[in-house]
Amino acid sequence: MRTQVAIIGSGPAGLLLGQLLTNAGIDNIILDRVSKDYILGRVRAGVLEEGMVDMLDRAGAGERMHREGLPHDGFSLAFDGRDHRIDLFGLTGRRVMVYGQTELTHDLMDKREASGGSSVYEATNVTPHDFDGAGPYVTYEKDGVTHRIDCDFIAGCDGYHGVSRKSVPESALRTYERIYPFGWLGILAEVPPVSHELIYANHPRGFALCSMRSHTRSRYYIQCALDEKIEDWSDDRFYDELRRRLPAEHAENMVTGPSFEKSIAPLRSFVAEPMRFGKLFLVGDAAHIVPPTGAKGLNLAASDVYYLFDGLLGYYADKSLAGIDAYSERALKRVWRAVRFSWSMTTMLHRFPDTGEFGQKIQETELDYLVSSKAASTALAENYVGLPY
């Protein structure tokens, strides 16, 4: 089999890139090791920057998002028993869109099916070969048969645990990493959100985040220890802990109800450089991970796709290598800005085991400065809505 671009991974990065290529008449195949249903069962991000919204529109998959997504003009920072609104739109003229990663993935899968794009799910042993030479190809197994796809380029969109980054010789890769000493325990419940905007809360008992998927579906998170076990967290215990970390007005107004999803995610910052090795490109989580506090993980996948698609389009339309050659540097510049922002939000809002009451006071002082200075609020808002591509 032969294609122009072999895409490993059918998450948001792979699906978005695949759709833009298909729309531009560039042949591609997407391979994923799990099933469509498994991918759609993962509950992950919920906040889209305008850049991501534009990319979905370009892919022709934005229609339901515009209908069902919730544009948000601001969010709250809660600390010291009070709530402070960050007026994203007033400070930057831009807003974010609350629309779940699950829905966006669904829309991209539907669009791919409608446009006849080829995808192989439950493909095992997917392996990129010879990306340093003239004839790259990918092999995989399906139903006991080994297949080979020859291609011009391989896009490694296979997430942090994928095979693409691991196929690059260690000596060619530089990695940077920080592991945080806590995780997030998250639930999804069919209850109206406690507030019409997101609340990011700093509290001596730990961080909390009140988010949503719709006017009737809430997504709540609390900071937890890394060794916490889901079984020890009944819904009642979760809501009690969440309420203790919120200002009284929100705690009193919270509507509770049974959760239908509950999971713990560790927090990590990670970057692999460069993001290109000959004819193999790393895209999205395959190249970098940010802690979820800044809502940047999914949005970075979109900006990587933007730069890579631009490079591939230049190659196929004009035989130009300039965009492909610039991909890693352009993507990494924006990645590092988001890594810095996510780290700073995480540091400002979470309880760290070793910083004590001094650390808490410093955080509250920083937050107080942030909400009382227009310059500081603007810098926060500018990063949160997303820096330009």
Q: From the CB of residue 202, how many other CB atoms can be counted at a distance below 10 Å?
A: 22
Residue 285 interacting partner from ligand FAD, ligand DHB, none (CB closer than 5 to 8 Å by kind)? ligand FAD
Interacting residue with ligand FAD among 10, 22, 76, 269 (CB under 6 A): 10
Instruction: Map the footprint of ligand FAD across residues 36-75, applying CB under 6 A.
Output: 39, 44-45
| β-strand pairing of 124-129 with 137-142 | antiparallel
Contact status: 295 vs ligand FAD (CB under 6 A): yes
Closest CB 209 distance from ligand FAD, rounded Å: 9
Spatial CA neighbour of 78 closest among 250, 224, 211, 225: 250
Contact status: 386 vs ligand FAD (CB under 6 A): no
Q: What angle do CA 123, 25, 299 make, to 5 degrees?
A: 65
Q: How far does CA 193 lie from the centroid of its chain?
A: 22
Q: What angle do CA 59, 64, 68 make, to 5 degrees?
A: 140
Contact status: 126 vs ligand FAD (CB under 6 A): yes
Contact 224, 73 (CB under 8 A): no
Is 239 noted as a catalytic residue in this protein?
no
Of the residues 140, 200, 221, 315, only one is catalytic, namely: 200
Using the contact rule CB under 6 A, the part of the chain among 89-97, 152-160, 222-230, 323-331 near ligand FAD is 152-160
Contact status: 157 vs ligand FAD (CB under 6 A): yes
Contact status: 213 vs ligand FAD (CB under 6 A): no
Q: Which residues bind ligand DHB (CB under 6 A)?
A: 45-47, 198, 209, 211, 219, 292-293, 295
Is 266 noted as a catalytic residue in this protein?
no
Is 319 noted as a catalytic residue in this protein?
no
Spatial CA neighbour of 346 closest among 294, 283, 296, 287: 294
Closest CB 187 distance from ligand DHB, rounded Å: 11
Contact status: 298 vs ligand FAD (CB under 6 A): yes
Contact status: 162 vs ligand FAD (CB under 6 A): yes
Is 129 noted as a catalytic residue in this protein?
no
Place of tokens 């980054």: 165
Helix residue spans in the chain (DSSP H): 12-23, 36-40, 50-59, 63-68, 88-92, 101-114, 235-244, 248-253, 297-318, 322-349, 356-372, 374-385
Using the contact rule CB under 6 A, the part of the chain among 72-80, 154-162, 358-366, 370-378 near ligand FAD is 154-162
What DSSP character marks residue 231? G
Residue 138 interacting partner from ligand DHB, ligand FAD, none (CB closer than 5 to 8 Å by kind)? none
DSSP notation for 287-332: TEE--GGGS-HHHHHHHHHHHHHHHHHHHHHH---HHHHHHHHHHH
DSSP notation for 105-149: HHHHHHHHHHTT-EEE-S-EEEEEE-TTSS--EEEEEETTEEEEE
Interacting residue with ligand FAD among 291, 292, 311, 323 (CB under 6 A): 292
Cβ neighbors of 237 (< 8 A, separation 6 or more) are none
Q: Which residue is nearest to ligand DHB (CB)?
A: 46
Residue number with CB closer to ligand FAD (142 or 362): 142
Residue number with CB closer to ligand DHB (31 or 45): 45
Closest CB 211 distance from ligand DHB, rounded Å: 3
Is 160 noted as a catalytic residue in this protein?
no
Of the residues 250, 288, 296, 350, only one is catalytic, namely: 296
What DSSP character marks residue 187? E
Catalytic residues, by residue number, are 72, 200, 292, 296, 384
